[in-house]
Amino acid sequence: MDSETPATLTLYSPSRRVKLVTPSQADDEAVAILRTHPVTLRFLKFLPETMTAEEVRERRENRAKDSHTLDLIVYVRGEDGSYEIGGSTGVFNMDDLQKSCEAGILVAPKFQGQGVSTEVFYTLFAYAFEEKGFHRISMETSMENLPMRGWLEKTADIRQEGIKKEWWTDMAGGWTDVGSYAILDREWRDKVKERLEKKMTSRNQTEGKIAA
């Protein structure tokens, strides 16, 4: 496993409903809107309430130079077959020695509750464990973020390792308790991958019946 970040990368979920691509200038405006949306800020209170496309560009270019960070834009396919930005994801703090990294996700409000997180994380985990050779991926989320915690614990059966009291500070000077989660490569192989595949298959079959 090496931490070199590819110049361009495109990953598809099994259904090809979701694709993950390295960010470009064309995404900057949408990313600025996503990162400052009130729904996003509800659980990520440390993010600024305003952000320009220029600030996103600067952030994107700086992070692209960091070989220990891989940012990806989430695109979701609509009924007409075209893709639109539906969020962002990626891995960071990639450690070659420990074969570990951290992962995160933002899903645009209009796509929340539609199974997008499952397809994004399935695609990201498959790449990180099966192609990059990671041993461990950790994730953190606000203890107030019950939808994300529910996905981690119930949908994916990813274990919570602990709670960091008052770990994140927000823009108003307050504090947020944070839940720490982790998944190992063997857990991915032995249970998580299959659970997510069943979840995606079940959803696709249900949507197919509704469409019919």
Please check the confidence at residue 14 and state whether its pLDDT lies above 70.
yes
Q: Which pLDDT does position 173 carry in this prediction?
A: 87
Per-position DSSP letters for 39-76, written without gaps between them: HHHHH-TTS-S---HHHHHHHHHHHHT-TT-EEEEEEE
Percent of the chain at pLDDT > 90 equals 89
Are 183 and 100 in contact by the 8 Å Cβ rule? The answer is no
Domain 10-211 -> CATH class: alpha beta
- Residue 163 pLDDT: 98
pLDDT, mean of residues 85-100: 97
Q: Residue 202: its pLDDT value, please? A: 83
Q: What average pLDDT score do residues 139-150 get? A: 97
The mean per-residue pLDDT over the stretch 2-19 comes to 82
Residue 156, pLDDT above cutoff 80: yes
Query: What are the residue boundaries of the structural domains of the chain, listed by start?
Result: 10-211
Specify the range with the lowest mean pLDDT, choosing from 17-31, 75-89, 104-118, 195-209.
Answer: 195-209
Q: Phi, psi (5° rounding) for residue 68?
A: -100, 10
10 beta partners: 21
pLDDT value at residue 3: 45
User: What is the average per-residue pLDDT within 39-59?
Assistant: 96
Predicted model pTM: 0.92
pLDDT recorded at residue 119? 98
pLDDT in tens, 166-208: 999 988 889 999 999 999 999 999 999 999 999 999 876 666 5
